Amino acid sequence: MDKLRGIDDDFAEAFKKNELYKLYKEHKDELFLGVRNNYLNLYYDCGSVVKIEYKNKKFFYDISESYLDKKYEDVTPRVICDNYKKIKEKIIEYRGIEGKAQSKLVYLNNNSEYSKWFCVDIENANSGFSGRFDIIAITKKPPYKVAIIELKYGAKAYDGKGGIYEHVENFTEFKKSDYFKNQMRKEIVYIIESLQKLDINTPFDNIPEENSILPDPDFYFITLNNNREKNDACTPKQRMSARLFNDRRWGCIRLSKKIVQNEFGDVTDINNNKFHATFLFSTQNLEEGITIKDIIEDDSYNREPKIENNNT
> Percent of the chain beyond pLDDT 70?
96
Looking at residue 2, its pLDDT comes to 64
Looking at residue 205, its pLDDT comes to 87
Other Cβ atoms within 10 Å of 130 Cβ, number: 12
Looking at residue 110, its pLDDT comes to 97
- Respond yes or no on whether the N-terminal peptide bond of residue 203 is cis (omega within 30° of 0): no
Q: Are 122 and 134 in contact (CB under 8 A)?
A: yes
C-alpha–C-alpha distance, residues 173 and 34, integer Å: 24
Looking at residue 69, its pLDDT comes to 81
Looking at residue 128, its pLDDT comes to 58
Q: Are 98 and 37 in contact (CB under 8 A)?
A: no
C-alpha–C-alpha distance, residues 81 and 76, integer Å: 9
Closest CA to 135 of 195, 217, 213: 217
Domain boundaries, the chain: 9-304
Kindly tell me the sign of the dihedral angle through the C-alpha atoms of 281, 283, 284, 286: positive
Closest CA to 181 of 140, 227, 128, 131: 128
Residues 6+ apart with CB under 8 A from 201: none
Other Cβ atoms within 10 Å of 261 Cβ, number: 17
Looking at residue 241, its pLDDT comes to 97
Closest CA to 218 of 272, 155, 150: 150
Which own/partner pairs from 8-15 qualify as long-range (CB within 8 Å, at least 24 positions apart)? 8/38, 9/197, 10/54, 10/57, 11/38, 11/54, 12/194, 12/197, 12/198, 13/197, 14/54, 14/57, 14/59, 15/40, 15/52, 15/54, 15/59, 15/198
Looking at residue 312, its pLDDT comes to 41
* Cα 26–Cα 27–Cα 30 angle in degrees, nearest 5: 165
Partners of 55 in beta bridges: 58
Would you write out the chain's pLDDT as a tens digit for each of its 312 residues?
Answer: 567 889 999 999 999 999 999 999 999 999 999 999 999 999 999 999 999 999 999 999 999 989 988 888 899 999 999 999 999 999 999 888 999 999 999 999 999 999 999 999 999 987 556 678 999 999 999 999 999 999 999 988 788 777 999 999 999 999 999 899 999 999 999 999 999 999 999 999 899 999 999 999 999 999 999 999 888 899 999 999 999 999 999 999 999 999 999 999 999 999 999 899 999 999 999 999 999 999 999 999 999 998 655 444
